[in-house]
Structures are given as C-alpha cells and as structure tokens.
Amino acid sequence: MNCLGNSTQTLAVESIQEVFEAVEKEKADYGVVPVENSTEGSVNRTLDMFIDSEVKICGEVLMPVSHDLLSKSGDPQDIRKIYSHPQAFEQCRGWLKENFPDTLLSETGSTARAAQMATEDSNSAAIASSFAARLYSLKVISPRIEDYFHNYTRFLVFGRQFMEKTGRDKTSILFSIPHTPGSLFCVLKPFAEKGINLTKIESRPLKNTPWEYIFFLDFEGHATDRPIREAMVEAERNALFIKLLGSYPKSS
C-alpha cells in the first residue's frame, strides 16, 4: 500500500483501536484501517471507532485480498488449530467447512499476528497472505482459499487534518436522527434534491443507548462544494447531530 509514498515509515500495531490511538496521540501521522469487504460487508470495529474519534479521513485504498493456509511444516496432517482474523475466517468459511470441519479456529487481531503465532506452534496453521508466509518463513499448505476470488477490501487512511479539494473527491459523515416517522428520509432528501450521489449508507447501534443508532453516509463530492454545503445545512435541521468525518480523493 503505497498511497502515502514509497519512503513512508510504518508502525505495526495489534488492533484497529491501537491504530486510532497512535494517530490521536501523535505517534503516527496517518493510520490505515479496513472499513469494508466486498463479500463480508463492513468492519464494525472501524465504524465504531469513528464515532468518538476526532481523526479525519484523508484517503481510501481498494485492495484485492487473497488468503493462504500456512504452517511451519506445510503438512495438513499436523494441523490441530487454525489462527486468523475473524474477517479472514468469514471469507474462507466454505473452504474451511469442506477441508477442516472439526479443527479449532482461534481468532487473532490480524492475519499477520496469526502467522506469527503459527511459527510458535507446530500443530497450528494460519490463514494469512503470501507476504506473511515469506515474512515468517511459513510454508503454504493451500493457496487462495477464499470462497470468492473477486474479494476486495476497502481501507481508509486517516490523519488529524482535513484534505484539500482535488476535483475527484468523496465525503463521509455520520449522523443521528430522532425517533419520528420519516426522519431518515428528511435527512437524506436534501442530498437527492442537490443531485449528490450517495455511495454508501450503514447503521451502527450506539453502545450506551439501547435502540439508538448512528448512520454512516458516503457521497461523491467535497465538503466545500456549494451543493454539499447547502445539503448539509438542510440535513442538520432534521438530525440530532451530524459529524463530518472527512473529504478525500476517491480510489481509482
């Protein structure tokens, strides 16, 4: 992932929460987190972190995802446990059911961590990338075990500053609405009237308030565009609150 340049120094952490904390505490200038997968949908932990965080989305990257089954020996007969991230397990669910239906599946914070743990246990394997196999000197038992080969993950890049307009932008917001008939329609209506193309809408429950929800919305354009500014003003009249998460260049 070279959207930040080839000379970028990287800092690896264990979880999505730690990525946010590294940027918030200025240990890193930018963070990169998965936000949705083409077969398994949204990464809920990422969405939840944006609710309370003050970071600003400044880019997105769409990457093809392929998973391999890795182990120290390369012998499938040795495997008693398989490590991986929950999303990777879901993306390989059919293959695992067919090939390792009774094997214990152990969740990890990342596929890289799964590969590292597989190096410490000769009776375990990891679902991770071919890069992880090279990095941790693991052998590939089976390549490309994902259930769908057209498997992509969208990553968001975020920092502490808003991005300037580029002319090919996307904007992300979150908002909450009252429990009244048509309240969601009233918030979305101004965007339709201004000809703004909505590209994604997702809801997440508020953790401390049962049956209350936060909506995440992506649409084409930059927050400084006049139609978007006007739509946001009108939408705010019908929302409990609206939070601008950032405007950023669309992935190619």
Question: Which one of the listed residues 46, 108, 153, 171 is annotated catalytic?
Answer: 153
CB 141 within 8 A of CB 70: yes
**191 catalytic residue (yes or no):** no
DSSP structure string for 43-65: -HHHHHHHHH---EEEEEEEEE-
The Cα 221–Cα 226 span in angstroms is: 10
- Whether residue 64 contacts residue 110, with contact meaning beta carbons closer than 8 Å, is answered with no
Instruction: Please confirm, yes or no, whether 185 is among the known catalytic residues.
Output: no
Task: Choose, from 50, 89, 155, 175, the residue flagged as catalytic.
Answer: 155
Q: For residue 37, what are the contacts with CB-CB under 8 A and spacing of at least 6?
A: 43, 65, 87, 91, 151, 152, 153, 154
- Helix then strand count (H, E) for the chain reads 8, 13
Sort strands 124-128 and 31-37 into parallel, antiparallel or unpaired: unpaired
User: What does each C-alpha distance from 78 to 38, 73, 124, 131, 194 come to in angstroms?
Assistant: 32, 8, 7, 22, 60
Active site residues: 153, 155
